[in-house]
Homo-oligomer: A and B are copies of this chain.
Amino acid sequence: MGTMENLDHFFKSAFTVDNVIFGFDEGDLKVLLIKRGEEPYEGQWGLPGYFVNENEDLDYAANRVLKQLTGLQNVFLEQVATFGDVNRHPTGRVITVAYFSLIKINQYTIQPSSIANRAAWISIDNVEELAFDHAEILRACFNRLKLLVRTRPVGFELLPRKFTLTELQHLYEAILETDLDKRNFRKKILSMNLLIDLDETQEGVAHRPARLYKFDKEKYDELLAEGFSFELKESRRKMVEHMG
């Protein structure tokens, strides 16, 4: 921040928040998109977002957007990056701060609002052209998720409170876009002692019912304080030949 002369000259840009809301359902990683009802980009899919009001912090605005659309509060929400190319918005200079949220898709309830009936969960693999630079924003948030999921136990934000180990594995596979070995995955996850075995099993499935677990947040916070670091390595196969 430099000198403050001629400030007025600069006070004519607007900024928005855009929110990449991730959910996980039927083995698929999904994102909540809005079919735009007006210009610009009318009829195209885009991210939920809105202008930041004068009297609200960025994080507050991102939470507001999320709540208006999903009814959810106090869920995982983090800033990712800011996009401010001169021509990114046809109407004027609009900088957008991108956030991403992780929600339990079964808690998502349609809120009565003008955009709600234009919202849809789209599998991340099926996302096509998006309005503005939203494709780039989505990519950045997806990359951040990939990174985060390996160093912090955020995956659980996307699952119901009770889940099976296979569901957890499929979640990781969807996010990391790779296959994981069942036995190694279980061994690793269970060795962290972050799951509570609920001594319950699935019901009504046409195969051996799986045990249900929940994430032990208290334990995690405790271990964190002691210096524990959650870490799931990316499987780097066949690197030997490059390492000489």
Contact = CB atoms under 8 A, between A and B. Distances in A.
B11 A12 contact: yes
- Copies of the polypeptide in the assembly: 2
Interface string A3-21: 1100100111111101000
Interface string A61-100: 0000000000000000001011111100101111111000
A168 interface: no
A18 B14 CA distance: 19
Contacts of A3: 37-38, 114
A236 interface: yes
Interface stretch (A44-52, A170-178, A202-210): A44-52
Interface in A112-154: 114-115, 131-132, 134
B16 A13 contact: no
Given A3-B38, A18-B1, A84 B58 contact: yes
A181 interface: no
Contacts of A14: 7, 10-13
Contacts of A56: 86
Sort chain A's interface into a size bin. 35 or more
Interface stretch (A22-30, A101-109, A157-165, A223-231): A223-231
B115 A86 contact: no
A184 interface: no
Nearest to A134: B1
A14 B228 CA distance: 41
A50 B234 contact: no
A193 B15 contact: no
Nearest to A16: B1
A1 B47 contact: yes
Interface of A: 1-4, 7, 10-16, 18, 37-40, 46-52, 54-58, 79, 81-86, 89, 91-97, 114-115, 131-132, 134, 191-193, 223, 226-229, 234, 236, 239, 242-244
Given A1-B16, A13-B54, A229-B236, 17 more contacts: A2-B50, A4-B39, A7-B14, A7-B91, A11-B12, A12-B12, A13-B14, A13-B15, A15-B15, A55-B86, A57-B86, A58-B85, A82-B97, A95-B97, A192-B243, A228-B239, A228-B242
